[in-house]
């Protein structure tokens, strides 16, 4: 154990990651302390009053069908254990918010490299909307942690073929769905990637045991939510009718870039430009998608994975939830956008560094040549002056 810790500490990337996590915790504690005594919003009051009603039988509170039970159940457990609201909020919001920085690093490191992972973790650590919602009793932070962790373990289980990781992917996806039903919006993106990766071989997909494990474990994990919905609202998917009504309500609303522009609220314009650049750079790999489907190209799996999950989910929100009124609704998409941003930053940095290397060569070679030739000329002149010959080493 001591040797493992020493190896980790000797890795400069690990030390930088620990510093980023420390800064992330500091910023969250600072924001939490500044807002902990503010009045609650309607959503916060609903979650807290429901948890108190479940824990103590009062105050009586009717829960809307659109609110999955897991987040409120977690609050209930802390209340039953005797913890106050401040302590409960710290454990269900601040800690998950810091863990979100860590899982963002781990996912990005797997997809690209440690340097890109550190950039993505840094952006996640300081993103304003994540910091703000860390102080509010909303589902967004724990839900985002669960869905990003599910994507991480799905990548490890499906692409890297780590069986145990796929179990965790199913559990975490079921948890994410039980916290916020919008987790289902990631399924189309995952299915599209599977089709690309398996070269549209439906038989191979249907007979893939790893994917069956993921599906079964996800359903089993979400089963308590299905039972809750059936008992409470006589439907295993109590959110469905409300969401369909919301979609039809805005069916005449024109398609806009509102969801895309919501991503800008998480980062400054300077970094948002890198997000756009990273998206464009990653989309270039879809040029070879026909070769991938035909089995002629096996590279670029990671690039196509993150690009598919990010763009398809963003497009789904754009076409279905056209207004995208609050940035927190797309927090998981924003974190995926941070990964894309980090990729764009690192890609351009490497190119600039390469140009700097070329520039250095262009500057140094003539300078060195001048010195060498000048030295040679001086040596020849000196030899001629002395009228002797000198042997070269």
Where do the structural domains in the chain lie, given as residue ranges? Answer: 12-360
Q: Identify the band that residue 127 occupies on the pLDDT scale cut at 50, 70 and 90.
A: very high
Distance of CA 77 to the CA centre of its chain: 28
The predicted model gives 6-25 an average pLDDT of 85
pLDDT in tens, 212-233: 999 999 999 999 999 999 998 8
Nearest-CA neighbor of 79 among 42, 54, 46, 44?
54
Q: Are 188 and 308 in contact (CB under 8 A)?
A: no
Cα separation, 334 vs 328, in Å, equals 9
Q: How many residues does the chain have?
A: 393
Q: What Cα–Cα distance (Å) separates residue 377 from each residue in 43, 369, 393?
A: 83, 12, 17
Cα separation, 303 vs 318, in Å, equals 22
Q: What Cα–Cα distance (Å) separates residue 384 from each residue in 172, 201, 388, 393?
A: 83, 81, 7, 19
Question: How confident is the model at residue 24, as a pLDDT?
Answer: 95
Cα separation, 257 vs 199, in Å, equals 31
Alpha helical stretches, state H, 180-208: 187-197, 202-206
Question: How confident is the model at residue 344, as a pLDDT?
Answer: 92
pLDDT in tens, 275-310: 999 989 888 777 666 666 555 556 678 888 999 999
Question: How confident is the model at residue 13, as a pLDDT?
Answer: 86
Cα separation, 243 vs 98, in Å, equals 31
The Cβ of residue 123 has, within 10 Å, a number of other Cβ atoms equal to 25
Cα separation, 135 vs 32, in Å, equals 5
The predicted model gives 306-316 an average pLDDT of 92
Q: Identify the band that residue 393 occupies on the pLDDT scale cut at 50, 70 and 90.
A: very low
Q: Identify the band that residue 268 occupies on the pLDDT scale cut at 50, 70 and 90.
A: confident
For the ranges 59-63, 145-149, 229-233, the one whose mean pLDDT is highest: 145-149
Q: Identify the band that residue 381 occupies on the pLDDT scale cut at 50, 70 and 90.
A: very low
Question: How confident is the model at residue 379, as a pLDDT?
Answer: 43
**296 secondary structure, DSSP code:** S
Residue with tokens 């009603």: 53
Q: Identify the band that residue 176 occupies on the pLDDT scale cut at 50, 70 and 90.
A: very high
Contacts by 38-47 with C-beta closer than 8 Å and gap 24+?
38/135, 40/137, 41/136, 43/136, 43/137, 43/138, 44/136, 44/137, 44/138, 47/71, 47/72, 47/75, 47/137, 47/138, 47/139
- Poorest-confidence range of 161-165, 256-260, 270-274? 256-260
Q: What is the pTM of this model?
A: 0.85
Question: How confident is the model at residue 371, as a pLDDT?
Answer: 42
Cα separation, 75 vs 173, in Å, equals 20
Instruction: Kindly tell me if the per-residue pLDDT of 92 is higher than 70.
Output: yes
Higher pLDDT, 288 or 153: 153
Residue with tokens 């897991």: 70
Question: How confident is the model at residue 284, as a pLDDT?
Answer: 79
End-to-end CA distance of the chain: 55
């Amino acid at each position: 154990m001591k040797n493992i810790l020493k190896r980790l500490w000797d890795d400069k990337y690990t030390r930088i990651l620990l510093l980023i996590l420390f800064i992330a915790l500091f910023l969250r504690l600072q924001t939490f302390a500044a807002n902990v005594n503010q009045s609650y919003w309607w959503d916060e009051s609903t979650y807290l009053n429901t948890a108190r009603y479940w824990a103590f039988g009062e105050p009586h509170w009717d829960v809307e069908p659109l609110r999955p039970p897991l987040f409120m159940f977690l609050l209930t457990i802390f209340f039953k254990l005797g913890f106050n609201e401040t302590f409960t909020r710290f454990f269900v919001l601040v800690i998950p918010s810091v863990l979100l920085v860590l899982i963002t690093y781990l996912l990005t490191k797997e997809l690209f490299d440690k340097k890109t992972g550190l950039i993505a973790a840094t952006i996640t650590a300081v993103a304003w909307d994540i910091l703000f919602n860390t102080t509010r009793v909303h589902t967004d932070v724990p839900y985002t942690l669960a869905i990003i962790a599910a994507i991480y373990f799905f990548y490890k289980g499906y692409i890297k073929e780590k069986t145990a990781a796929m179990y965790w992917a199913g559990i975490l996806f079921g948890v994410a769905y039980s916290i916020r039903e919008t987790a289902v919006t990631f399924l189309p993106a995952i299915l599209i990637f599977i089709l690309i990766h398996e070269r549209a071989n439906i038989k191979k997909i249907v007979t893939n045991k790893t994917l069956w494990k993921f599906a079964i474990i996800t359903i089993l994990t979400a089963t308590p939510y299905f039972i809750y919905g059936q008992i409470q609202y006589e439907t295993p998917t109590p959110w469905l009718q409300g969401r369909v009504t919301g979609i039809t309500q805005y069916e005449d609303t024109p398609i806009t870039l509102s969801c895309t522009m919501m991503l800008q609220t998480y980062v400054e314009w300077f970094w948002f430009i890198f997000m756009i650049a990273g998206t464009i750079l990653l989309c270039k790999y879809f040029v070879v998608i026909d070769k991938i489907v035909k089995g002629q190209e096996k590279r670029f799996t990671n690039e196509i994975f993150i690009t598919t999950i990010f763009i398809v989910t963003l497009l789904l929100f754009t076409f279905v939830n056209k207004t995208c009124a609050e940035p927190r609704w797309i927090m998981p998409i924003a974190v995926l956008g941070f990964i894309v941003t980090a990729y764009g930053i690192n890609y351009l940095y490497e190119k600039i560094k390469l140009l700097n290397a070329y520039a250095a060569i262009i500057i140094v070679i003539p300078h060195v040549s001048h010195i060498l030739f000048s030295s040679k000329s001086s040596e020849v002149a000196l030899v001629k002056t002395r009228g002797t010959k000198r042997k070269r080493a």
